[in-house]
Structure 1
Amino acid sequence: MLFKVFYQESLHQVPVRENTKTLFINGESERDVRKKIADRAYNIEYVKPVTGAYLEYEKQNEHFKVLEI
């Protein structure tokens, strides 16, 4: 299943919406995704499954890229 992860690059800063970044990653569950990116020291705000029409919409974005871990 594909998940969209909303995160801040630093654990030591207060999350600010304008600085939120996203990445897409395949995983079995939200827990699996969090484990896969735990070594990156991101401040993870939210992990959301991406399916159906929402996935098709995201694929149209020029920055759509699935992180392979």
Structure 2
Amino acid sequence: MIFKVYYQKSISEVPVRENTKTIFVKGESVRDVRNKIADRGFNVEYVEEVKGAHLEYEQQNEDFKVLEIG
């Protein structure tokens, strides 16, 4: 499954909408994705599964890349 992760670059940063970044991560569950990115120091706001029409829409973006973290 592919998940969209909304985050701030620094764990000490207060969430501000204008500073929110996103990445796409392949994982088994929300917990799995959170564990995979835990060492990156992100302040994770939200993780959501992306599928169907939503995934097709996201794939149209030229910057769309899925991280496969082992």
TM-score (norm 2): 0.96
Match for residue 37 of structure 1? 37
Structure 1, unaligned runs of 5 or more: none
* Aligned ranges 1:1-69 → 2 under 5 Å: 1-69=1-69
State the 1:13 CA deviation: 1.5
Aligned length: 69
What is the DSSP-based 3-state SS (H/G/I as helix, E as strand, rest coil) of the residue aligned with 2:44? strand
Distance, in Å, in 1 between the alignment partners of 2:24 and 2:13 is 22
Structure 2, unaligned runs of 5 or more: none
Point out 4+ residue stretches in structure 1 off by more than 4 angstroms: none
Distance, in Å, in 2 between the alignment partners of 1:30 and 1:13 is 22
Distance, in Å, in 2 between the alignment partners of 1:25 and 1:15 is 20
Q: Percent identity?
A: 71
